[in-house]
A and B are shown apart, each in its own frame.
Chain A
Amino acid sequence: MEAPVDNSKSRSSISVHVNSLKLTKTQRLDLYRVMVRIRAFENGVRQLTSEGKIGHVSLSGGGEAVAAAVSAHLGPEDQIGSTHRPLGHLVAKGCSLKHMMAEIAGKATGTNRGKGGAYHIFCPEVGALGANGIVGGSVPMCAGYALANQLRANGRVAVSYFGEGASNQGGVQETLNLAACWKLPLVFVCENSSPVVQTMLGHEIDYPQLSIEDVSLRAPAYGMPGGSHPGWDAEEAYAVVGEAVKRARDGGGPTLLEFKVHRVEGEESEHCPIRCYREKLMKLGVLNEKLDREIRDTEATAVKEATDFAVGSPEPELVDAYRDIFKEGTR
């Protein structure tokens, strides 16, 4: 990373010196690989939509660096709560590509047996505790994951993803306060995908979403550290998330991180995190054309397998409509 964090955008104690961050070659390639995997997976989803095999799904292109950087600091027993634009977060957290794709297609083999769809994917085995169809809906639940971690003293942390729109929701603001009051091991990750002008993604609005420029300005108001960072810079994201996760694990309480994210499809934009990181890794000699091709081919193959699995999977039985309203048995 050439430039230090722009401290004019930092709030209170976030002051990572990214220059001092030493990522190994393996760590760098792992980050890059996850970013490529996310993009490949979402391209697979886009393909299925264009073929009419599934409906519209909200995709997260442009947020790959944030998702990869967050999950690089988490183990399978750390939890995330996600949004209605969740696929990057879920891929990075290690959810099965096959079973996610099957869920997106509504199949019986899906993560949720075809009863949740893309907006409600849960993969408890890797700590991915919920995409969520309600804007801001997963945020209070993340405080519950964090409270359980705190009471069990297991050193686990929870990460709550949300967008700048959700940041205004009462439940999100309530949870910021609660998490600070209870000093929960929780990291709030706001992906602000309207970073340039205050418009809501995909909608034309003539009033602003936010009364302030940066969502992270709210961090000190709720009694926690926070800061705003470019979401297209994988290593800066890695550094600041690392600090926030460490603070949470060490009992220091929550942090509010904001990442500016430009929603992109291809790699033309200078704000495409994959393009930015590829160029950086090439310059550093960590990546070359051949290795890049290998990584992309590997991920594309895995996505193709997931797509074939989803398309070839059976529909749920009609009787499944009546199952799972309640869990049976007690204890």
Chain B
Amino acid sequence: MREITYAEAINEGHRHAMRENPEVILFGENVSSSWRAATKGLKEEFGRERVRDAPITETAFIGTGVGAAVVGMRPIVELMLADFSLVAMDQVLNQMAKTTYMTGGGVSVPMVLRLIYGAGGGNAATHSESLYGLYAHMPGMKIVVPGNPYDAKGLLIAAIHDPNPVVFFEHRLLYSVRGHVPEEPYEVPFGVANLLREGSDVTVVAVGRMVGEAVKAADELKGRVSVEVIDPRTLVPLDEEAVLRSVQKTGRLVVVDEDYERCGFSAEVAALAAEKGFHSLRAPVARVANPNVPIPFNRSLERHVLPDAEKIVRAIKAVVK
């Protein structure tokens, strides 16, 4: 099968959806620019009406997406960085996420909010956050965090087809990662985890860029520790079954998360194991996550707080001891 990058896969996902349905539109900051790999060429194919550069006013253009979705269009709204969405929290959390519920299901908001996220590039604390834990905390949004090019394309198409608000997190450092991606359109369903490595000693759950780090750790420990790696792919809905089934088998759990540790995704998965998998556990759950510090600018400091394969190996060794 052909290999393309994560960014090209996202680009193709747009292309399929926009060819299929003229009501799929895209706007955001610089979405027409040729240097933006995930959206490059879309304006040329679909025109400047459907692919629009918006003024740098996140509240206005996210709200515009919400409104367009309420009247049945399929807006994809891109934020150049997840951190920038923080200036538009009313439109995201009050309007986009709550409208379906507050109208008793009378209105749906079929909108995709694409957020480019992630640390590791030396970009400091307002250009590096993951934030999917914050969004997953609030009801009314599906939270998607693809970890490879195949999932990026299939999950994006599924997100555009979904009748609900979907927040789609694309890791900036995965943009250039290559992988097998079919040329035809396909959907990767929400709430179905991906099993990357089978193992019997410990379960490692990771999303986004951390999936790759978890796999690296598993491969490094090959022959010594049998590591199972699971990528839930979507935080909401979460494939609880897949996590619990694996923990039942291995009796040990390590959760890896680039997002803040406190009240986040890693806490959620640990709580899941404590509530519904407690009797399977043979060791305390371990978490490898951002230790609740803003991402520092200095590269050594940044590396120091970010999870990576080495830290995952250390955590695995501690729980299997």
Give chain A's interface residues, CB within 8 Å of chain B. 79, 81, 110-116, 120, 122, 124, 129-130, 132-134, 137-148, 151, 158, 170-171, 174-175, 177-178, 181-182, 320, 323-331
Residues of B within 8 A of A134 (CB): 90, 94-95
Which residue in chain A gives the minimum CB-CB distance to B65? Answer: A144
* Interface residue from B49, B52, B60, B100 paired with A171 (Cβ < 8 Å): B60
* Interface residue from B59, B62, B72, B163 paired with A148 (Cβ < 8 Å): B72
State A305–B198 Cα separation when bound (angstroms).
Answer: 66
Instruction: Check if B70 sits within 8 Å of A326, measured CB to CB.
Output: no
Residues of B within 8 A of A330 (CB): 158, 161-163
Residues of A within 8 A of B62 (CB): 140
Does B291 sit at the interface, judged by CB under 8 A?
A: no
B185 to nearest A CB, angstroms? 14
Residues of B within 8 A of A124 (CB): 70, 106-107
Which residue in chain B gives the minimum CB-CB distance to A114? Answer: B104
Q: Which 4 A-B pairs have the closest CB atoms?
A: A144-B67, A140-B63, A113-B104, A174-B60
Instruction: Check if B59 sits within 8 Å of A151, measured CB to CB.
Output: no
14 A-B contacts (beta carbon < 8 Å)? A112-B102, A134-B90, A140-B60, A140-B62, A144-B73, A145-B67, A145-B70, A151-B50, A175-B60, A177-B57, A324-B100, A326-B142, A330-B161, A331-B163
Instruction: Check if A178 sits within 8 Å of B64, measured CB to CB.
Output: yes
B51 to nearest A CB, angstroms? 12
B10 to nearest A CB, angstroms? 19
* Interface residue from A120, A132, A139, A147 paired with B68 (Cβ < 8 Å): A147
Does B149 sit at the interface, judged by CB under 8 A?
A: no
Residues of A within 8 A of B55 (CB): 174, 177-178, 181
Does B202 sit at the interface, judged by CB under 8 A?
A: no
B102 to nearest A CB, angstroms? 4
Residues of A within 8 A of B23 (CB): 151
> B68-91, CB under 8 A of A: which get 1 and which 0?
111111010000000000001011
In B122-139, which residues have CB < 8 Å from any A CB? 139
Given A143-B67, A177-B60, A325-B139, A112:B50 Cβ within 8 A: no
State A120–B103 Cα separation when bound (angstroms).
Answer: 7
B71 to nearest A CB, angstroms? 5
Residues of A within 8 A of B94 (CB): 133-134, 137
Instruction: Check if B57 sits within 8 Å of A178, measured CB to CB.
Output: yes
Given A144-B64, A151-B49, A112:B103 Cβ within 8 A: yes
| A-B residue pair count with CB separations less than 8 angstroms | 158
Given A151-B50, A324-B104, A325-B100, A129:B70 Cβ within 8 A: yes
Given A120-B102, A144-B66, A327:B61 Cβ within 8 A: no
State A322–B284 Cα separation when bound (angstroms).
Answer: 33
Residues of A within 8 A of B162 (CB): 330
Q: A120-B102, A147-B73 are in contact. List 5 more A-B contacts (CB 8 A).
A: A134-B95, A138-B95, A140-B59, A143-B60, A175-B60
Q: Which of B54, B68, B163, B164 has the most CB of A within 10 A?
A: B68
B94 to nearest A CB, angstroms? 5
Given A177-B57, A181-B55, A116:B71 Cβ within 8 A: no
A252 to nearest B CB, angstroms? 18
B20 to nearest A CB, angstroms? 10
* Interface residue from A129, A181, A324 paired with B105 (Cβ < 8 Å): A324
State A229–B258 Cα separation when bound (angstroms).
Answer: 55
Interface residues on B, range: 35 or more
State A329–B103 Cα separation when bound (angstroms).
Answer: 18
Residues of B within 8 A of A112 (CB): 102-104, 106
Residues of B within 8 A of A178 (CB): 54-55, 57, 60-61, 64
In B276-302, which residues have CB < 8 Å from any A CB? none
State A143–B67 Cα separation when bound (angstroms).
Answer: 7
Q: Which of B23, B54, B64, B88 has the most CB of A within 10 A?
A: B64
A297 to nearest B CB, angstroms? 32
Which residue in chain B gives the minimum CB-CB distance to A108? Answer: B104
Residues of B within 8 A of A81 (CB): 67
Given A124-B107, A144-B70, A178-B57, A115:B64 Cβ within 8 A: no
Instruction: Check if B105 sits within 8 Å of A144, measured CB to CB.
Output: no
Residues of A within 8 A of B212 (CB): none
B53 to nearest A CB, angstroms? 10
> B13-30, CB under 8 A of A: which get 1 and which 0?
000000000010100000
* Interface residue from B52, B91, B164 paired with A182 (Cβ < 8 Å): B52
B139 to nearest A CB, angstroms? 5
Given A143-B67, A330-B162, A331-B163, A115:B73 Cβ within 8 A: no
Does B250 sit at the interface, judged by CB under 8 A?
A: no
* Interface residue from A115, A133, A141, A158 paired with B104 (Cβ < 8 Å): A115
A181 to nearest B CB, angstroms? 6
Instruction: Check if A141 sits within 8 Å of B67, measured CB to CB.
Output: yes
Which residue in chain A gives the minimum CB-CB distance to B49? Answer: A151
State A122–B66 Cα separation when bound (angstroms).
Answer: 14
B19 to nearest A CB, angstroms? 15
Instruction: Check if A115 sits within 8 Å of B60, measured CB to CB.
Output: no
Instruction: Check if B63 sits within 8 Å of A144, measured CB to CB.
Output: yes
